[in-house]
Chain A
Amino acid sequence: MSALPVMRGDSGGPGPKMRVRLAGFAETLRGAGFAIGQAEVQDAALLLASPLAERPELFRDGLKALFCSRHSDLARFDELFQAFWRGRGAKRATRLSAQGLAARSPRRFEAGPGGDRRTSLPETTVVDAPEGAAAGGRGRKGGASTHEGLSAKDLRRLDSEKDRAEILAAAERLARRMRARLTRRERIRLRGRRLDLRSTIRHSIAHGGEPIELKFRRRRSKPLRLVVLLDASGSMEPYTAFFTRFLHAVSLSFRESEAFLFHTRIAHVSSALRERDPARALDRLALMAQGVGGGTKIGESLAAFNRWHARRVIHSRTCVMILSDGYDTGAPELLEAAMKALRRRCRRIVWLNPLLGRDGYEPSARGMQAALPFLDLFAPAHNLDSLAALEPYLARI
């Protein structure tokens, strides 16, 4: 490989120039979301002085093992490495890697002869009628209660800048309130009863060494985790700005939340959303979500989610929230299979459909039909009221 023209200075040891370049490379990787600290950069310099540096491809492999820390880093590393050492800008590499994600996403569900296996749906699946959620919403005052005028307004019809700013702020408040409700429930959960000898002995000191007071251990329950999958396709456009803001607020206020964006492919965007400043977060999000084209492939995106992310981000107390209008250009069978697999993994699936709030809308899109049987809650999400109505539901999970 000719990517590394000068590995060593003339003296034989690593030249200072090379060290600076290396630090620059680490900086580039950091910008692309790699977890790299000062210690890693120092170790990289050590590698530069080691026999590993005699061969560019060995050196690359070495840096790869050192700098990468998750599976998704591996493929991006190669692109960034090429781009950096060939002197191209790193920005471009980031974009390339975003597209690379789409190319890599597996299509396991297309393989295999199982396409025709439509098993009957589990009895336990509950599809709440949307009216239920809406009715609950009217009764309570959510985070948006001070904005009566706005809270019932369809998010599409927000014209003035002022309206928009207010509604975005309301989205943030809503996400925070949801968190407050959820965590309050946390503390009064299960307590396990296992004798804790260590602290029993510690407490026996007060009784002259007699273990009278027995101490027990409680099992802590896992906090609820919210995994949000946001459809960022063209048909969702009027709502995207609001939902991304909502997503941002959720990510900041929930300790355990993960966010994904999908259209024709799926991207894990939690790291971008952890950025405190909303404007910067949205910028990073936009960069990560680049490569829009064609229609929405919900089924394929969900299948990719199941294959690559679900195991990591879903545990026994996870609620998956899908924000989508259900217009899928892929095969409904694919979506059905993906939903079925997802159903097996998580505790609740909530699908929020902004179209549901419109008068006369029927969830007749084929994709939506395929997904319906697997949902715990199918609810509208076209205004703040409808989102606020969800809060008590989520608190019960």
Chain B
Amino acid sequence: MSRMSNPIPREAIAARLAETGYVADRDLTTALWMMDHLKRPLLLEGEAGVGKTEVAKALAASYGCELVRMQCYEGLDASSALYEWNYQRQLLAIKAREGSGANPGDIEAQIFSESYLLERPLLAAIRREASPVLLVDEVDRADEEFEAFLLELLSDFQVTIPEFGTIKAKAIPRVVLTSNGTRELSDALRRRCLYHYLDFPDVDREAAIILARQPDIDARLALQVARMVGMLRKEDLRKVPGVAETLDWAATLAGLGVEDMRQEPELVHDTLIALLKTHEDRERVASQVTQRLLGRVA
């Protein structure tokens, strides 16, 4: 960068992420800096396969902290997101002490103690000594009620368990939420979060990603792969190939010893199964289409 010195360490953030194998775009580094500065969660949206989850993983790796991941799904409730008592063990404990004449108060104190508490991701995230990265993955899949609950947790970072007491976060976790947009999220949650829209990487960045993940691949091949995938994404496909698919394909081609894709049109066409995951898309990209696209990868 030939500009004057940077007010915020965007390059440093990008470099740290790059060490973990994640190639970030500039806007994302700004958002990540703000996340720390304002202590707000970051909401990432974008199509499936653009690497939303990877951001959280890379963030955790770059801070050298733990990643607590919570996968959301329909019907997710507080007992599977926050905590649950281990009822089976509690019942067992009650039965085992039934005839022993133990003080009921003691039994109660025991069965509602730490060792009978099952920690779920959200509780885990706020009980860590060092602040972890909390990834709330695909938050749009959870119900609206859960969203409201999440919102409360994200503003107070404390949880009250009636039998146990209030647990306050020891260290505020860095929170990353991802959404595929299968449902409209509430305005309240959106407002609470910083927002970043992840797009598919452009050709150069995708080539850089391939090189970061597969260092022994030939740089020219990486560029060709990135170009080819970029063009395929513009075709009218049902499932647009994601970055993970690109990496698979690059690894496949490199493994087969391809150096210049134009030399091996048939091999390229056959290995497209790493990218095109529906029958329709396979049909659509006939070998003539592959040929046509290959003509433009140089």
Whether B87 pairs with A315 at a CB distance below 8 angstroms is: no
Q: Which of A32-55 contact B (CB under 8 A)?
A: 35-37, 39-40, 43, 46-47, 50-52, 54-55
**Bound-state Cα–Cα, A208 to B94, Å:** 11
From B40, B182, B234, A43 is in contact (CB under 8 Å) with B40
Q: Which of B104-123 contact A (CB under 8 A)?
A: none
Give every chain A residue within 8 A of B195 (Cβ-Cβ).
65-66, 68-70, 73
Whether B191 pairs with A40 at a CB distance below 8 angstroms is: yes
Whether A58 pairs with B8 at a CB distance below 8 angstroms is: yes
Chain B: minimal CB distance from A178 (Å) = 21
A197 within 8 A of B: yes
User: Mask for A104-121, Cβ within 8 A of B = 1, else 0?
Assistant: 000011011110000000
Whether A109 pairs with B94 at a CB distance below 8 angstroms is: no
**Bound-state Cα–Cα, A139 to B87, Å:** 57
Residue of B whose beta carbon sits closest to that of A35: B187
Whether B38 pairs with A58 at a CB distance below 8 angstroms is: no
Whether B8 pairs with A52 at a CB distance below 8 angstroms is: yes
Instruction: Give how many A residues have a beta carbon under 8 Å from the other chain's beta carbons.
Output: 40
A207 within 8 A of B: no
User: Mask for B7-42, Cβ within 8 A of A = 1, else 0?
Assistant: 110000000000000000001001101100110100
**Bound-state Cα–Cα, A216 to B235, Å:** 49
User: Mask for A202-219, Cβ within 8 A of B = 1, else 0?
Assistant: 000000010100000001
Whether A51 pairs with B7 at a CB distance below 8 angstroms is: yes
Q: Which of B246-289 contact A (CB under 8 A)?
A: 284, 289
Residue of A whose beta carbon sits closest to that of B40: A43
Residue of A whose beta carbon sits closest to that of B27: A61
B54 within 8 A of A: no
Residue of A whose beta carbon sits closest to that of B288: A113
Given A58-B30, A69-B43; A51-B196 close (CB under 8 Å): no
Given A58-B30, A69-B195, A198-B84; A46-B38 close (CB under 8 Å): yes
Given A58-B8, A71-B45; A312-B183 close (CB under 8 Å): yes
Residue of B whose beta carbon sits closest to that of A60: B30
Residue of A whose beta carbon sits closest to that of B191: A35
Given A46-B38, A51-B8, A198-B87; A65-B31 close (CB under 8 Å): yes
Give every chain A residue within 8 A of B183 (Cβ-Cβ).
312, 315
B295 within 8 A of A: no
From A36, A52, A68, A109, B34 is in contact (CB under 8 Å) with A52
Give every chain A residue within 8 A of B193 (Cβ-Cβ).
69
A356 within 8 A of B: no
Chain A: minimal CB distance from B36 (Å) = 11
A331 within 8 A of B: no
**Bound-state Cα–Cα, A58 to B5, Å:** 13
Give every chain B residue within 8 A of A201 (Cβ-Cβ).
87, 90-91
B71 within 8 A of A: no
**Bound-state Cα–Cα, A54 to B7, Å:** 7
**Bound-state Cα–Cα, A39 to B154, Å:** 14
Given A52-B34, A112-B236; A65-B194 close (CB under 8 Å): yes
Interface residues on B, range: 35 or more
Whether B75 pairs with A219 at a CB distance below 8 angstroms is: yes
Whether B236 pairs with A62 at a CB distance below 8 angstroms is: no
Give every chain B residue within 8 A of A197 (Cβ-Cβ).
87-88
B197 within 8 A of A: yes
Chain A: minimal CB distance from B83 (Å) = 11
User: Mask for B182-193, Cβ within 8 A of A = 1, else 0?
Assistant: 111001101111
B214 within 8 A of A: no
Give every chain B residue within 8 A of A193 (Cβ-Cβ).
none
Q: Which of A311-365 contact B (CB under 8 A)?
A: 311-313, 315
A74 within 8 A of B: yes
Residue of B whose beta carbon sits closest to that of A337: B236
**Bound-state Cα–Cα, A311 to B45, Å:** 13
**Bound-state Cα–Cα, A36 to B187, Å:** 9
Residue of B whose beta carbon sits closest to that of A200: B87
Residue of B whose beta carbon sits closest to that of A72: B197
**Bound-state Cα–Cα, A311 to B43, Å:** 18
**Bound-state Cα–Cα, A313 to B192, Å:** 22
**Bound-state Cα–Cα, A29 to B43, Å:** 19
**Bound-state Cα–Cα, A40 to B195, Å:** 12
Chain A: minimal CB distance from B180 (Å) = 7
Give every chain A residue within 8 A of B284 (Cβ-Cβ).
112-114
From B38, B90, B191, A37 is in contact (CB under 8 Å) with B191
Chain A: minimal CB distance from B14 (Å) = 14
Whether B91 pairs with A211 at a CB distance below 8 angstroms is: yes
Whether B182 pairs with A312 at a CB distance below 8 angstroms is: yes
Give every chain A residue within 8 A of B91 (Cβ-Cβ).
201, 211
Chain A: minimal CB distance from B284 (Å) = 6
Whether A66 pairs with B34 at a CB distance below 8 angstroms is: yes
From A43, A70, A311, B190 is in contact (CB under 8 Å) with A70
**Bound-state Cα–Cα, A362 to B43, Å:** 50
Give every chain B residue within 8 A of A46 (Cβ-Cβ).
37-38
Whether A113 pairs with B289 at a CB distance below 8 angstroms is: yes
**Bound-state Cα–Cα, A71 to B90, Å:** 48
Whether B191 pairs with A69 at a CB distance below 8 angstroms is: yes
Give every chain A residue within 8 A of B234 (Cβ-Cβ).
111
**Bound-state Cα–Cα, A150 to B87, Å:** 64
Residue of A whose beta carbon sits closest to that of B283: A117
Q: Which 9 A-B pairs have the closest CB atoms?
A: A69-B190, A112-B236, A51-B7, A35-B187, A54-B7, A197-B87, A65-B194, A65-B31, A312-B181
Known: A50-B8, A52-B33. 17 other contacts (CB 8 A): A37-B191, A39-B191, A39-B192, A52-B7, A52-B30, A65-B34, A65-B194, A65-B196, A66-B194, A69-B43, A69-B187, A69-B195, A74-B197, A112-B235, A219-B75, A311-B180, A315-B183
Q: List 5 A-B contacts (CB under 8 A).
A: A62-B30, A65-B34, A66-B194, A70-B190, A108-B236
